[in-house]
């Protein structure tokens, strides 16, 4: 029986609320409404080939503050087709899910959307037609049921559910098949080497490999088979799947044959800098070796070679306080950590990020003057461009966290996801606080302490917040040139206590929520950023691309079992070298209560 059909039958049997839809459509242009100006967008056929789907959630209106409705591949099925992406899911038995299901069934909700990232060179912009063309998507974070889809051609509909004996028989049959057969229906295999697993999966589809990898993750985390799961064999199989998947991606991207334990191709055939030298920290082999080292698992020969090469090239000058066991997290994980941190919102999500060596002065262009009238044929005087410079220091952000020694049973993908969440909520949260409040004394310099605020120049004080005029004067105080891309920043209490119901002189609300993204809106046409590291009674307005933070060497992580003798836990220490500071102070205005 086909795996998709098994999943559909089982899902339909477990709940009375099943839905199916199409969140992504290929080769259909649509107009995207953007504060910087509307443009046309097209997602080309094949853009999802090789995209990371595992872990994608089903949400309502991209609301990350609400419990997800389903998750791929456990409770939601995603299938890449020639027309785009198809989705089917079984909704949980909750009040929110019942409301959404009823709205879909009535036709009140009929469209979908999705959150995604595009790799470098994954899209291009045609200025002549004002069109963004997306040719590659590297990760899908969520698919959402939305009332106002950006692509009207997307769809969502309710499906009939099975009941009674038919329902129970379907569940029993599917559970039996899934327990005892592989994706293609053969008995489960045990692999003794990564090469065997690679050879078995190299002709499978990426979707099937991801499904099996998710099953292995569940087996490892739960013990599987009554607690008798062969963890070592499962990890070998998972490594083979990972290499087979990467091999397919490499072929599609014309980067050579990729890693192949059968032929002996290795990491030096990919993950390179523009000058042709190897970026070992970005290689798949180093990524697997990094996590296996932290988990205490055995490395393959290729992973061991990648680890040794990385340790030889380790950026010791930057992480000179760590032990020899410390290692820089893989590039893919660092990107995920930063992405997660930016999704948390706040000022960090709109600041300019740098990845440059400390103590080096970097020029940053500032807005230039407007064009001037000129007599035809007369000589035009060249304008001198204003350039600011930023020189970041090197300060440590240190975090130690402990988890059960049972972590050794986790799969590499499961542990990577855990570590990315932990680092985003600790190391990056510290940086997020520093961006606002950092004193500059053995830490980064925040925007509030780092800008010289002068009353009636770049700072305005008022006794009464309930005034439309106060906000209009704040906008007027921002120097010309910085308004393009300017935003408001305040904490949640400030927005909803003082500004939410404020009206202009014509009785119209000054705060307008975005109907497509719940909780985000505009004041006087400028986006609002909520940052709870902001103090009460303070509002900032400006272009925060002129507030920067720097992570020159990523994050180093090391493991210690010193505390495990009594507690059965493993300590992990994360160390980041970072700094933050305002780049161009004149790009900001402060409004605060006297």
Q: Which residues pair with 467 in a beta bridge?
A: none
CA distance 539 to 529: 10
pLDDT at position 262 is: 34
Query: Beta strand 57-60 with 70-71: parallel, antiparallel or unpaired?
Result: antiparallel
Enter the tokens of residue 265: 């191709």
Helix, strand, coil fractions of the chain, as percent rounded to 5: 35, 25, 40
pLDDT at position 548 is: 92
CA distance 143 to 22: 9
CA distance 106 to 104: 5
Q: Which of 5, 71, 67, 22 is nearest to 210 (CA)?
A: 71
CB 146 within 8 A of CB 112: yes
CB 473 within 8 A of CB 464: no
The CA distances from residue 100 to 18, 73, 309, in Å, are: 11, 21, 52
Gyration radius of the chain over CA positions: 27
The CA distances from residue 329 to 109, 223, 336, in Å, are: 42, 27, 11
Give the residue ranges of DSSP H helices in 452-505: 468-477, 492-494
pLDDT at position 510 is: 85
pLDDT at position 454 is: 93
CA distance 313 to 328: 11
Render 315-370 in DSSP notation, one character per residue.
Answer: -TTTSTTS-TT-EEPPHHHHHHHHHHHHHT-SGGGTSEEE---TT-EEEEE-PPPP
CB 474 within 8 A of CB 589: yes
Provide φ and ψ at 390, rounded to 5°.
-130, 135
For residue 102, give the H/E element and its range. helix 95-106
Place of tokens 């009040």: 95
Quickly count: other Cβ atoms within 10 Å of residue 416's Cβ. 21
| CA dihedral angle for residue 341, residue 345, residue 346, residue 348, rounded to 10 degrees | 40
The residues, ordered by sequence, that sit 6+ positions from 86 with a Cβ below 8 Å of its Cβ are 20, 21, 22, 78, 79
CA distance 580 to 76: 41
| CA dihedral angle for residue 24, residue 30, residue 31, residue 33, rounded to 10 degrees | -10
Enter the tokens of residue 442: 């053995």
CA distance 405 to 488: 45
Q: Which residues pair with 105 in a beta bridge?
A: none
3-state secondary structure of 14: helix
Could you state, in chain order, the average pLDDT of each consecutive group of 10 residues for the chain (594 residues)?
Answer: 47 67 91 76 91 91 87 89 89 90 90 88 84 91 90 81 49 46 47 76 79 81 63 81 77 44 37 49 80 79 79 52 60 76 81 82 67 65 62 86 69 75 83 94 94 92 76 89 89 85 82 64 89 92 93 79 64 86 93 86
For residue 131, give the H/E element and its range. strand 131-134
∠ CA 58-44-2, nearest 5°, is 55
Enter the tokens of residue 506: 């014509």
Say if residue 438 is exposed, middle or buried (CB neighbours under 10 Å; 0-12, 13-18, 19+): buried
CB 200 within 8 A of CB 189: yes
CA distance 429 to 423: 8
pLDDT at position 582 is: 94
Domains and CATH numbers, the chain: 17-160 (no CATH), 184-315 (no CATH), 331-367+387-446+551-582 (no CATH), 453-548+584-593 (3.30.2320.10)
The residues, ordered by sequence, that sit 6+ positions from 455 with a Cβ below 8 Å of its Cβ are 461
Q: Which of 418, 463, 448 is nearest to 557 (CA)?
A: 418
pLDDT at position 393 is: 87
């Amino acid at each position: 029986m086909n795996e998709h059909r098994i999943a559909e039958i089982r899902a339909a049997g477990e709940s009375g609320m099943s839905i199916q839809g199409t969140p992504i459509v290929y080769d259909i242009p649509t107009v995207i409404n953007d504060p910087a100006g509307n443009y046309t967008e097209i997602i080309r056929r094949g853009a999802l080939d090789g995209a990371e789907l595992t872990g994608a959630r089903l949400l309502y209106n991209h609301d990350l503050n609400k419990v997800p409705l389903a998750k791929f591949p456990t409770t939601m099925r995603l299938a890449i087709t020639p027309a785009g992406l198809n989705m089917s899911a079984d909704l949980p038995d909750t009040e929110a899910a019942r409301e959404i299901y009823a709205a879909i069934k009535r036709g009140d909700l009929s469209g979908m959307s999705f959150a995604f990232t595009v790799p470098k060179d994954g899209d291009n912009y045609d200025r002549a037609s004002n069109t963004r063309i997306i040719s590659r998507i590297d990760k899908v974070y969520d698919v959402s049921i939305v009332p106002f889809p950006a692509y009207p051609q997307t769809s969502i509909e309710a499906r009939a559910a099975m009941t009674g004996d038919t329902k129970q028989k379907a569940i029993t049959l599917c559970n039996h098949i899934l327990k005892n057969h592989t994706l293609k229906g053969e008995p489960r295999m045990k692999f003794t080497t990564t090469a065997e697993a690679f050879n078995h999966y190299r002709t499978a589809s990426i979707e099937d490999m991801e499904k099996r990898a998710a099953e292995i993750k569940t087996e490892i985390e739960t013990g599987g088979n009554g607690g008798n799961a062969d963890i070592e064999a499962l990890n070998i199989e998972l490594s083979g799947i990972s290499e087979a998947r990467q091999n397919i991606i490499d072929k599609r991207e014309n980067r050579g044959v990729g890693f192949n334990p059968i032929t002996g191709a290795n990491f030096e055939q990919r993950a390179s800098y523009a000058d042709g030298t190897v970026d070992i920290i970005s290689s798949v082999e180093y990524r697997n070796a990094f996590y296996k080292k932290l988990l205490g698992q055995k490395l393959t020969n290729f992973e061991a070679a990648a680890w040794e090469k990385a340790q030889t090239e380790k950026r010791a000058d930057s992480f000179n306080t760590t032990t020899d066991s410390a290692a820089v997290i893989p590039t893919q994980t660092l990107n995920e950590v930063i992405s997660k941190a930016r999704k948390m919102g706040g000022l960090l999500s709109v600041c300019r990020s740098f990845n440059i060596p400390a103590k080096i002065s970097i020029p940053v262009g500032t807005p230039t003057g407007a064009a001037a009238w000129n007599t035809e044929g007369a000589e035009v005087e060249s304008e001198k461009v204003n350039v600011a410079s930023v020189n970041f220091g090197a300060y440590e952000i240190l975090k130690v966290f402990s988890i059960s020694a049972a972590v050794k049973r986790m799969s590499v993908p499961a542990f990577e996801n855990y570590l990315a969440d932990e680092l985003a909520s600790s190391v990056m949260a510290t940086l997020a606080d520093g961006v606002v409040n950092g004193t500059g004394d053995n830490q980064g310099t925040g925007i509030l302490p780092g800008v010289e605020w002068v009353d009636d120049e770049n700072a305005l004080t008022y006794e009464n917040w309930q005034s439309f005029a106060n906000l209009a004067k704040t906008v007027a105080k921002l120097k010309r040139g910085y308004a393009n891309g300017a935003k408001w920043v305040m904490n949640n209490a400030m927005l909803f206590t003082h500004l939410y119901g404020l009206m202009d002189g014509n009785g119209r609300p000054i705060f307008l929520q975005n109907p497509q993204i719940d909780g985000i809106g505009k004041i006087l046409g400028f986006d609002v950023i909520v940052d709870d590291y902001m103090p009460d009674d303070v509002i900032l307005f400006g272009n925060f691309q002129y507030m920067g933070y720097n992570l020159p060497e990523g994050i180093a992580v090391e493991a210690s079992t010193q505390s495990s003798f009594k507690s059965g836990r493993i300590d992990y220490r994360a160390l980041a070298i970072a700094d933050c500071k305002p780049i161009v102070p004149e790009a900001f205005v402060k409004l605060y209560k006297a």
